[in-house]
Amino acid sequence: MIQRAFTYLGYRYAKFQFRADVDAVQPLTDFFHTAKSMLVILPVGYEEALIAGTILRDMLKQRRSLHLTVIHNSTRETPLSELSRCEVVRLNPEDINRFSLPRKSIMQRLIAQHYDVAVNLNLDFILHTAYICKASRASVRVGCTHLASDVFYNVQVNLTTPASPHVLFKRFAECMAMF
């Protein structure tokens, strides 16, 4: 109960912090295929991260010039690390404060680089991953639809139909492939 209150306060802080950020109008026809650098936030659960990483890896294999930064919260290997020019950033529990926001140290490490596209692969809304996506300052930020997601993403994928995680991540990848 108290943690939910702290998370709500963290959400309100993030909303206040990003209140002046207005996305410029841009064509969204080829943002995924023309991106030179991408931030990918894998799902919090290891099994879901493994499924999402495998599907995304198969989709990105041909993109040799793409610089990929992957945020992963497990100590296990991610399938995306097999790609060339891939950097994996481990997100530990101590990197998240009591308001469910990432600490300054991890944010400084992530925002030191420019990203063309930021993709949050969490199917549910998780505040610290949404915050990282928005704070990345990527021109295109992709995430799943949620009541609070308008603040953080400018491209939202609607995956509300109940299905297995494998099917949902495959649909997510198919939506991304359209661009």
> Tens digits of per-residue pLDDT, 90-135?
998 999 999 999 999 999 988 888 999 899 999 889 999 999 999 9
Strands laid side by side in the 117-120 sheet:
86-90, 67-72, 37-41, 117-120, 140-144, 155-157
Average pLDDT of the chain, as a whole number: 85
Q: Stretch 47-57: mean pLDDT, rounded? A: 87
- Tens digits of per-residue pLDDT, 1-30? 788 888 988 888 888 888 877 776 666 677
SS3 category, 118:
strand
- The region of weakest confidence among 6-10, 40-44, 48-52, 58-62 is 58-62
Looking at residue 5, its amino acid is A
pLDDT of 61 > 90? The answer is: no
Q: At what angle do helices 165-177 and 46-60 cross, to 10 degrees?
A: 30
Query: Are the CB atoms for 46 and 76 separated by under 8 Å?
Result: yes
Pairwise CA distance, residues 102 & 127, whole Å = 9
Largest CA distance in the chain: 47
